[in-house]
Structure 1
């Protein structure tokens, strides 16, 4: 028996084998689904980490969509940062 076993196997998943990799993955999925969202920087970073983990697991068109969303977000962030730099530099000059 593993020491890092989810407590869900005692309550919600009592009839499943805790050593089965699919059952462990399902327990981890239930833990992620039940986590309360946090409106803090740490919560947002955790959400980005969850998105990255999910994007790394998928294949095919879902992965392409995840890469496209990530690219659009990075391009938007670069545009905002560039505009902020231009504003600050033009204000000081």
Structure 2
């Protein structure tokens, strides 16, 4: 699903008067593209693209926002590790 002509024209209309070679303009156009992108959230690919967007935005941030993103990822990983630990302990209890 490439960019259709209508989408490119819409971006051009929103960026009228801005220098197309300016890095800030390019970043703003990428931001608009991410905001308007629609993908199914009920598929594995949709979930993974959402995680990729989160990781990309976390890598671009600094300071408190980056700390909050690292904290969220850490809590998620802690939950996964604890779930695996408890599941393995239950399995080993049942077997032995």
Shorter chain as denominator, the TM-score bin is 0.7 to 0.9
2:54 is the alignment partner of 1:51: yes
Higher relative contact order (CA 8 A, sep 6+): 1
Specify the alignment match of 1:60 in structure 2: 63
Q: Secondary structure, in 3 states, of the residue corresponding to 2:17?
A: coil
Alignment length (residue pairs): 88
Q: Secondary structure, in 3 states, of the residue corresponding to 2:20?
A: coil
Specify the alignment match of 2:43 in structure 1: 40
Report the alpha carbon displacement of residue 91 of structure 1 after superposing the two structures with TM: 4.3
Residues in 2 aligned to 1:41 and 1:90: alpha-carbon distance in whole angstroms: 33
Specify the alignment match of 1:74 in structure 2: 77
Tell me if structure 2 keeps the 8 A contact 1:17–1:23. yes
- TM-score, normalised via structure 1 length: 0.78
- C-alpha distance after superposition, 1:2-54 (max 9, x if no partner): xxxx9254332232222111011001001111112422111111111111111
- TM-score, normalised via structure 2 length: 0.76
Report the alpha carbon displacement of residue 92 of structure 1 after superposing the two structures with TM: 4.5
Alignment gaps of 5+ in structure 2: 1-6
- C-alpha distance after superposition, 1:36-82 (max 9, x if no partner): 24221111111111111111111111111111111000000111222
Q: Which structure shows the bigger proportion of residues in helix conformation?
A: 2
The CA RMSD over aligned residues, in Å, is: 2.0
